[in-house]
Amino acid sequence: MTAIAIDGPTGAGKSTIARRAAERLGFIYVDTGALYRTIGLSMLRRGIDLSDAAAVAAGLDGLKVSLRFQDGEQRVLLGDEDVSGEIRTAEVSMAASKVSAVPAVREFLFQLQRDMAKSNNVIMDGRDIGTVVLPNADVKIFLTASPEIRARRRFEEMIAKGMQTTYEEVLSDLEQRDYNDTHRAIAPLKPAPEAVTIDTSGDTFDQAVERVLAVIRGS
C-alpha cells in the first residue's frame, strides 16, 4: 500500500487539493481534520468545557466516530448520524483546534487513522500526518499559503455555503487556530524534516493540484 501524507495550516486547501489528487490517482482520500471536527461538535453539543482536558477525555467514553466512503466521497459519522455538513462551521473549526490539543483525543483517533493507511492506498491530510500518524509515509508534503490568502479562500467558501461571517472574522479565527496548532504541546503543526513544502499563495486550484501530483509522481 502507498501512503501520502499532506500536512499544513487551516485554509491551505489541503482537503480539496488532496481529494482531487486522490481521485486522479485512484487512491482513498482521508480527511483527518474531519475526525477532530466531529469530536469537537460532539463536545459542543453536550456543553463540555473544551479547556478542561479531563472533561474532554471523559467525553470520549462511548463516542463512536467513523468515516464512510460513498460514491467516492468521504462522509463523517457521529454514531449513526452523518455530520459531514455540520462540522464545517467556524465554531466547530475552533472546537477541533482545542480538542486536538488533548492527548486522549489524539490517542482515540490514532489507530483509526493508521488502520485506514494499512488497508488502502491513501492520501491523508491533517496537521501531524507526516510527523506522527504516518511517519513512514511514502511521500510527505507540507501545503501552505499566506494567512491572508487562506482567510480569503475560507471566507469565499463560507459565503458560498450561505454562512454569515466577515473576512476579518475569518482571518482572526484562522490566525488564532494557527497559533493553537503550532504551539500545542502534543504533536504541534510543523513540516516533517523530509517533507516537500508547497506554497500555493499564487496558484489556482488546478495549478496546486498539479504541483502536488508532480511531487507524488516524482518520488
Annotated binding site for ATP: 8-16
Report the phi/psi class of residue 176: left, alpha or beta, with left for phi > 0 and alpha for psi in -120 to 50: alpha
Residues 88, 60: Cα–Cα separation, whole Å: 21
In contact, 152 and 17? CB cutoff 8 Å: no
DSSP bridge partners of 199: 144
Place of cell 455538513: 85
| Residue list, annotated binding site | 8-16
Q: Which long-range contacts (CB under 8 A, 24 or more apart) does 84-91 make?
A: 84/34, 86/41, 87/34, 87/37, 87/38, 87/40, 87/41, 88/37, 88/161, 89/163, 90/158, 90/163, 90/165, 90/169, 90/170, 90/173, 91/44
